[in-house]
Amino acid sequence: MAAKSATEYIVHHLTPLKAGDGFWTLHLDTLFFSAVLGLVFILTFKYAAERAVSGVPGPIQNFAEMLVEFVDTQVKDTFHGRNELIAPLALTIFCWVFLMNLMDLIPVDLLPTIAALEGTPYLRVVPSTDLNATFAMSLSVFCLIIFYSFKVKGPLEFTKEILLQPFGIWFMPFNVLLRVVEEVAKPVSLALRLFGNMYAGELIFILIALMPWYIQPLLSFPWAVFHILIITLQAFIFMVLTIVYLSMAHASH
C-alpha cells in the first residue's frame, strides 16, 4: 500500500466522530461506547444479583462473585481507612476500564466499515484510546481524593498538611509546591498510562491490518493473545492506584 494511503488509513482509524467546536467539542463515539459498556457492566451484575442462589451458583453468578471477591481482597490489602464506597468504586473502575480496553480486540475495520455504510465518516471504538476519556476518569478520582482529604482530615488539618509537610513551617512555599506537583501527578499519571498503552496497542493492530492478508493472522493472533494481558493489567493498575490514592486521602499523619 502506498505511503500516502497508509497514512490516510491510520489517520482515519484514529480520528474520533466529533460534534461541536473548540473546548466544547464532543467525541460522540467515545461517549457512546463508554455509556454502552457501562450499561453492559450494570446489567450483567444486576442479572447476577437478581438470580443469585445460596446453592450451586450458575456461571454468571460464579463469575460475578469471583470478581467481587478479587476486588474486595485488593481493597482489604490496600485501603486502610473505613469507607463503604471504595470497594464498589474499585469494582466499577476495574470492570468498566476492562470493557473499554476489551474493545481493542474487535477487528479494526469491522465497526468502522459498518458505520460507514450508515453514513458515519469516522468511528473510534476503543474509548480508552481517547485522552479525553482517560482524563475524565482520572479527574473524577482526583475530585474524590480532594473531597475525602477535606472530609476525613478536616479543612484545618488538611491545610496544615499542605503548608507544613514535609519540611516544616520555615519552608511553606516549598512544601506547597511539592504538594501541588504530587497531587497534579496523580490524575496525569493515571490518564496518560492508560491512554498510552491502549493507544499504542490499537496502533499496532492498525499497522498489522495494513499488511497483506496472508501475513495478518500470523501477527494479529499472537498480538491479540498478548494484548489480553495488557488490557487486564491496565484495568488492574488503574483500580489499584485509585485505591492507594484514596487510602492516602484517608490517612492522617
Backbone φ/ψ region at 237: left (φ over 0), alpha (ψ -120 to 50), beta:
alpha
Q: Which of 83, 140, 193, 247 is catalytic?
A: 193
* Angle between helical axes of 59-78 and 28-50 (0-180°, round to 10): 110
Q: Which of 140, 189, 247, 252 is catalytic?
A: 189
Q: Which of 197, 220, 247, 252 is catalytic?
A: 197
First-last CA distance in the chain: 61
HEC string of 191-206 equals HHHHHHHHHHHHHHHH
Pull the grid cell for residue 118.
Answer: 450508515
What is the per-residue DSSP string for 110-139? HHHHHHHHTT-S-----GGGSHHHHHHHHH
CA atoms within 13 A on the CB side of 115: 17
Give the Å distances, CA to CA, from 195 to 129, 169, 201, 203, 235: 5, 39, 10, 12, 11
Active site residue 82: no
Place of cell 479525553: 132
Active site residue 51: no
- Which residues participate in catalysis according to the annotation? 189, 193, 197
